[in-house]
Amino acid sequence: MFFKNLSALLLSACCSAGISFLLNLSPGLHTSVWFTGILILLPGSFALNLFFGFRSKDENFSQLLLGGIVIKMLIALISIVVYSLLDRSRFFAFSMHFIAQYILFTIFEIRYLLHIIKTRQHAKIE
């Protein structure tokens, strides 16, 4: 399970870096702080995925899952708001990179969570 978590996170980080590289090719979306989103999302996603992996057998797993996703979204929104207050001139470019990275991390997180849920269902059947 731990390897699945790491592979999902590494794939998310690599795809996010690739998307940011492509976005940086556009003059209007070029930013030198494109990696900030990855630095914010990677540790948070790692912690949440570990938490979900360890707590997958709990009866209230769906509530934990929903709470974790909401917390991750709130942290992302707070990060965008803080950046908008710090640097208004490059806010649009940063937000486009951050949103693209957030979407990619969420896609791979859902893939990982589907694996956990399927494993949990197989364990209940047996």
* CA distances, 2 to each of 46, 73, 78, 113 (Å): 10, 23, 29, 12
Would you say residue 8 has pLDDT above 90? no
Task: Please report, for the chain, the start and end positions of each structural domain, with discontinuous segments joined by +.
Answer: 2-125
Q: What is the pLDDT of residue 83?
A: 94
Q: What is the pLDDT of residue 100?
A: 95
Structure tokens given for 82: 């803080």
* CA distances, 123 to each of 49, 57, 68, 126 (Å): 19, 9, 23, 5
Distance in angstroms (rounded) separating the CA atoms of residues 69 and 66: 5
Mean pLDDT for 63-79 is 92
Q: What is the pLDDT of residue 126?
A: 61
Instruction: Convert the pLDDT of each residue in 97-116 to its tens digit.
Output: 999 999 999 999 998 888 88
